[in-house]
Amino acid sequence: MHKTAVLFVCLGNICRSPAAEGTFRHLVKEAGLEHAFHIDSCGTSAYHIGEPANARSRRTAARHGITLTSRARQLQLDDFQTFDHILAMDRSNLQDVLRMAPAESRATIALFRTFDPEANPEKVPDVPDPYYGGDDGFEEVQQIMLRTSQSFLRHIRGVVHE
């Protein structure tokens, strides 16, 4: 059985994309669908390769019962063949992903918040980068991760069952 492969992408892979990965992984596990998904995250830059998620991201996720265990890595060319869905946290990273994507990419590439039920579909917002802000910014991002990941999972389940 083919696993649906989902890759979340931000700049450094220490705040937003690991939070999205951990949140989506948590929801998939709660739904009993771990066998059906391959989930990962990465950054478009090499700033933090090998580092764990930012401590503030980990603490915020933990308050919601979510564990972030990934280590930062950079987007690779083979990701475009490995993953079915590559979801960027903001337009800047989306442009970097699209620029890097080979013509034979199998991945559907989109902004993560395309699936946010609170987002205006006419102007999909970026996931704000909480790195230089306070704890409130990390909580705001976690709320975005929760509702958008739930919506994306519903979308994927609908596509898989069609």
1 pLDDT higher than 80:
no
For residue 82, name the pLDDT band (cuts at 50, 70, 90).
Answer: very high
**Average pLDDT of the segment spanning 31-49:** 97
Are the beta carbons of 112 and 17 closer than 8 angstroms?
no
156 pLDDT higher than 70:
yes
User: Is 10 among the residues known to form the active site?
Assistant: yes
pLDDT of residue 40: 99
pLDDT averaged over every residue in the chain: 96
CA Rg value for the chain: 14
pLDDT of residue 2: 87
User: Is 59 among the residues known to form the active site?
Assistant: no
Alpha-carbon distances, residue 40 vs 22, 93, 103, 133, 148 (angstroms): 9, 16, 22, 25, 16
Query: How many domains does the structure of the chain reveal?
Result: 1
pLDDT of residue 10: 99
162 pLDDT higher than 50:
no
Query: To the nearest 5 percent, what fractions of the chain are helix, strand and coil?
Result: 45, 15, 40
**Average pLDDT of the segment spanning 9-24:** 99
Q: Which residues pair with 7 in a beta bridge?
A: 40, 86
pLDDT of residue 72: 98
- Domain assignment of residue 129, given as a range: 4-161
Rounded Cα distance between 9 and 74, Å, is 9
Q: What is the CATH number of the domain that holds 83?
A: 3.40.50.2300
Task: Look up the pTM and report it.
Answer: 0.96
Q: What is the pLDDT of residues 115-129, one digit of tens each?
A: 999 999 899 999 999
Tell the burial category of 74 from Cβ atoms under 10 Å away from its Cβ (0-12, 13-18, 19+): middle
159 pLDDT higher than 90:
no
161 pLDDT higher than 50:
no
Instruction: For residue 60, count other CB atoms closer than 10 A to its CB.
Output: 26
Annotated catalytic residue within 16, 25, 58, 113: 16
DSSP code for 75: -
User: Is 129 among the residues known to form the active site?
Assistant: yes
Please name the helix (run of DSSP H) or strand (run of DSSP E) that holds residue 38, with its range, or none: strand 37-43
